[in-house]
Amino acid sequence: MTRRTWGARQLWLALGLVLLAVVLAFRDARRTRPPSRPPTRAPRVLLGEATPPEPLAQLARQAGIRREPIAHARLVVDKSDMELLFYSGERLLKTYPVALGFGGLGDKQQRDDGCTPEGEFRIVERVMQPEVRRWSDVWMLLDYPLPEDAERGLAAGLISREQRDAIIEAARNHGTPPQDTRLGSGIGIHVGGIKPRTWTQGCIALEIQDGIEVFRQVRIGTRVTIRQ
């Protein structure tokens, strides 16, 4: 064998050893590399859906808040944004789209004006049927009219002094005010959908599942703020 042939064989042997080292290194790197995971995506939320999409009870549990019912629950209805905001104390847990009265964004003045009233209310009655099919099957009555509505109504000649006094007395006792005056009655939170966004007689309407979720986490006496 010539010296030239022997040198060529050494060269090919060296290249083979280098290639083998590269293959082994690549294999070891694949073994030690953590498995790839698909990128996480934020939950998709469509216009007109409650946000965040997780169940209200789950959100309360994640926040370390006692639930069933959620401790210190209070509701805020923002008429301009057409939303119901569910708070525990000062902590916002979830926001729901709502439909309001057909009379526009103005404050309620009298019966049949189609406006949703504004003010600081409380839930004074709550009823849910075993099967929810109609708007009235999930119902949370508010203590409208308030004493300030009574004073306004008396000044405008809409109610008598006796009716004004009865409304004020009901508020003092955390009861249901008279529901038979010209100021209007039966203002509450119920289900029935949010299309169109102004279809109620002055109530706050929710989608069925949203209304059931809210209903389960409030009680008689829960505060409800309605604002522009």
- Read off the pLDDT of residues 34-70 as tens digits, 9 standing for 90 and up: 444 433 344 444 568 999 999 999 999 999 998 879 9
Tokens for 147, please give them. Answer: 């004493």
Whole-angstrom Cα distance, residue 159 to residue 105?
24
Spell out the domains of the chain, with CATH numbers in brackets: 56-144+186-227 (2.40.440.10)
pLDDT for position 67: 80
pLDDT for position 48: 84
- Does the pLDDT value for residue 2 go beyond 50? no
- Read off the pLDDT of residues 62-94 as tens digits, 9 standing for 90 and up: 999 988 799 999 999 999 999 999 999 999 999
Q: What share of the chain is helix, strand, coil (3-state, %, to 5)?
A: 30, 25, 45
Q: Check: CB of residue 58 under 8 Å from CB of residue 70.
A: no
pLDDT for position 81: 98
CA-to-CA separations, 111 to 115, 150, 201, 211, in angstroms, rounded:
9, 13, 9, 25
- Does the pLDDT value for residue 225 go beyond 70? yes
φ/ψ of 61, rounded to 5, equals -65, -40
To 10 degrees, the CA torsion angle through 190, 194, 200, 202?
A: 70
Strand, coil or helix: what is 94?
strand
- Read off the pLDDT of residues 146-198 as tens digits, 9 standing for 90 and up: 999 999 999 999 999 999 999 999 999 999 999 999 999 999 999 999 999 99
Whole-angstrom Cα distance, residue 66 to residue 16?
68
Write down the H helix ranges in 33-146.
56-62
